[in-house]
Structure 1
Amino acid sequence: MEHFFAPVNGIRLHCVSEGAADAPLMLFVHGFPEFWYAWKSQLEEFGKDHRAVAFDLRGHNLSDKPEGVAAYRHKPLLEDLKQLIEHLQAGKEDKSCILVAHDWGGAIAWTFAAAYPQYVNKLVIINAPHTVPFARALASDPVQQEASNYMLLLRHAKAERVLQANNYERLLKMFSRTADGHCALTDDEIPLYLEAWARPGALTCALNLYRASPLYPPTPEDPGAAALKLDCAALTVRVPTLVIWGEADTALGTVLLEGLEEVVPDLRIRRIAEGSHWVIHEQPRRVSAAIREFLQEGNTAPAEKA
C-alpha cells in the first residue's frame, strides 16, 4: 500500500492507496473513532481493479489537525472531500468516483452526494444515517433517542478525560458492542488504534465532529435535532446508492432506514443480521461482496434484499 499526503483545503490529509493510479477511483471515508485502517480489507479487495484510497479525516491520526469546533462543521468537511477527489482525479475529465463511507464518514458522504452528485458515480453507505430520517428519529423516537444518548457525553467538555481514562478503555469497549459480543478489533489492531488516538490533538478533533453537529438527542434544556428545519430537496441523493446495514447496531436502529427512499430514490438496502455497527470489521468479505455486486449491476434499483 502507498502512503502519501494530499494538500487540500489548506491542510494535508494522510492517504493510503492500493491499485493502479489510472484505474477508476474508489474512495473510502471512515467514522468515529477510527482512521484509514478501518478499510484495510476493502483496499486489498478493490485495489485489484480500482485505485482504492482511504484517508484520515481532518483531525484524525496522521492528517492535519485544525483547532476549534468550527473547523469540524459540515462545510469544511465537504470541501475537504471535494478537493481530495479533485486532487486524486487530476488530469481526468470525469472527476466522479465510487464513494464508500461508514458512520461519521457516511454522514459526510450523504451530504456530499446530495450537494456534488457530479463527483459521485455510485454511493455506498454502511451503518450511517441520512440526515433527514436521523433528525426525525432523534426528535420523536424514544428508542433512538436513548440509543443516541452517548452523543451527549461526546459533546461534553469532560469527554476527553473520560475516554482517555485507563488507556482508552471506554473507546475500546465501544468495539465490543458487536453481534457476538467479541471485540471487533484483533489483538494486533488494538495497538494501532491506541497509537492513533494518542496522537496530540487527535481525540479532541474527533470529538469536535459531535460538538459541531446539530444532530443530537434533545434534553430538557436543549431541543437538539428537534429544532432543525431541513430542506429535504437539498438533501436528496440522486446517485445510485447501496446502504449496507448491520442490524445488531446498538447505536443506530433500523428505524433509520424507514422512509429512506423518499430522499434516496435510487436505493438498494442490504441488511446483515449478523453484523453490528462494526460490520466492516466483523464481516469484511460479506461487505465487499455486497459492494462488488452493486458495482457490477446497472442503474435500475432492485427490491430490497434480506
Structure 2
Amino acid sequence: MPAAIQEGQYAPLPNGTRLHYASAGEKGKPLLLFVHGFPEFWYEWEVQLAEFGGEYYAVAPDLRGFNLSDMPSDAAAYKPRHIVDDLRLLAEHLGYEKFVMVAHDWGGAIAWNFAIALPQLLHKLVIVNAPHPYLFMRALAGDPAQQKASAYMNWLRAEGSEAALAKDDFKMLESFLNGLGQSPTPWFTDEVRKRYHACWARGLTGGVNYYRASPLHPPTADHPGPLRLELKADDFRVRVPTRVIWGESDVALPKSLLDGLDEVVDDLRVTRIPEGSHWVIHEQPARVNDLIRGYLAD
C-alpha cells in the first residue's frame, strides 16, 4: 500500500532560509532525501515518496527559489555551495547525521557537489540524468556538440527569461516537460499540469537564477564559461558509493556525459535506459523505483 504523503511542512534553517518539504514515512527510519531539478519542485518525487515511505523516512524539499521555499532575489544566493548548505542543514533539522540522497537535473548537480564536499554525510548517492561537474565542465569547454545542446542555458541566464517562460500561460515552460514540441507525453496529465502551473505561478526567477549563478554554461564573447581546465579531476572525486540512472534519449544531456565517469567516482554503477528521456522519472516511475530499491540493497 502506498505511503501517505504529507505536504505543507517547513524547515527554518540556521542560515536564514526556510525550506518547504513533503514527506512520507516516519521520522527515525533511515532518511531518503529526494532533490528535484528545473523547472520542477518536490512533486517530481511524488511516486517515490509513496513507494519508499514504508521502510524509510522519504523527504522531498522544494529547493530555495522554487514553489513554497524562500526565494532570495540575489542571483549569487543560488551558487551551489549555498544549496549544498541548505540540504545539510535540512538533514540536521530533521535529526539525521547521515542519509541517502537521490537527485535529478539541477538537484543532481547540487548532489554531486554535496558528495564531493561532504562525503561523510552520505551513505549512498543516486543520480538521475545529471552530469558530474568536472565532466560537464570539460564538455562545455571543448565539445561543440555539447555546447550546442546546452545553448538553452545561456538563454535562461539572460535578463527577462523568466517572463518569456511565463508568457501565454507558461506555454514555453510547459513544452519543456510535455514533449519538447513533439507529441505530448502521457504522464503530463491535466492534474500534473495543474500542479506545475500552481508552482510556476509562485515565481520563476529563483529557478533561472541557478543558471545565472553557475559558472557552467557554454562560452560566449561576454562570458567565457567553464574554461578552467587547469582544475584537476581528482579535485572533484566522489568517494561515496554512487549509482546513476541515465535516460539516453536526453536531448540536452547526451549519454556522452557518462564517458570518464568511472575515473572520478570510486564506487560506481550506471544503468542506461535507451528509450528514456530527461524525464525518465515520470516516464518509467516503476522501473526507477525498482532501480533505486536495488541500489539501496547493494
Query: Fold-level match, TM-score > 0.5?
Result: yes
Q: Which of 194, 199, 203 pairs up with 1:196?
A: 199
Distance across 2 between alignment mates of 1:113 and 1:63? 23
Matches within 5 A, 1:1-306: 1-3=5-7, 4-8=9-13, 9-89=15-95, 95-177=97-179, 181-183=183-185, 184-199=187-202, 202-227=203-228, 229-297=230-298
- Which digits, 9 at most, give the CA deviation of each residue in 1:190-239, with x for residues without a partner? 0111111111xx20111100000000001244321124643433321101
| CA distance in structure 2 between the aligned counterparts of 1:53 and 1:222, rounded to whole angstroms | 37
Q: TM-score, normalised by structure 2?
A: 0.94
Name the counterpart of 1:303: none
- Contact kept, 8 Å, 1:5 with 1:14, in 2: the verdict is yes
- 1:115, 1:234 within 8 Å by CA — same for their partners in 2? no
Tell me how far 1:49 sits from its aligned partner: 0.4
Contact in 2 for aligned 1:218/1:225 (Cα 8 Å): yes
- What SS does structure 2 have at the residue aligned with 1:188? helix
Residues 193 and 229 from structure 1, CA distance in 2 versus in 1: closer, same or farther, beyond 3 angstroms?
farther
Deviates most, 230-239 or 126-135: 230-239
Q: Which amino acid aligns with 2:36?
A: H
Shift of 1:187: 1.5
Go from structure 1 to structure 2 and tell me whether the alpha carbon gap of 1:260 and 1:181 turns closer, same or farther (over 3 Å shift): farther
Measured in 2, the distance between the counterparts of 1:220 and 1:2 equals 47
Q: TM-score scaled by structure 1?
A: 0.92
Native 8 Å contact 1:5 1:15 kept in 2: yes
Query: CA separation in 1, counterparts of 2:84 and 2:141?
Result: 25
Distance 1:273 1:209, change over 3 A: same
What is the CA–CA distance in structure 1 between the aligned matches of 2:238 and 2:144, rounded to whole Å?
27
Question: Which amino acid counterpart does residue 55 of structure 1 have in structure 2?
Answer: P
Instruction: Report how many aligned residue pairs link the two structures.
Output: 290
Structure 2, unaligned runs of 5 or more: none
The 8 Å contact of residues 138 and 229 in structure 2, kept in 1 or not, is answered as: no
Distance in 2, Cα, partners of 1:47 & 1:280: 17
Q: Percent identity of the aligned residues?
A: 53
Query: 8 Å contact 1:177–1:250 — kept in the other structure?
Result: no
1:85·1:119 contact (CA, 8 Å) conserved in 2?
no
Provide the rounded CA distance (Å) in 2 between the counterparts of 1:133 and 1:190.
34
> What is the root-mean-square deviation in Å for CA atoms of aligned residues?
1.4
Aligned amino acid, residue 39 of structure 1: W
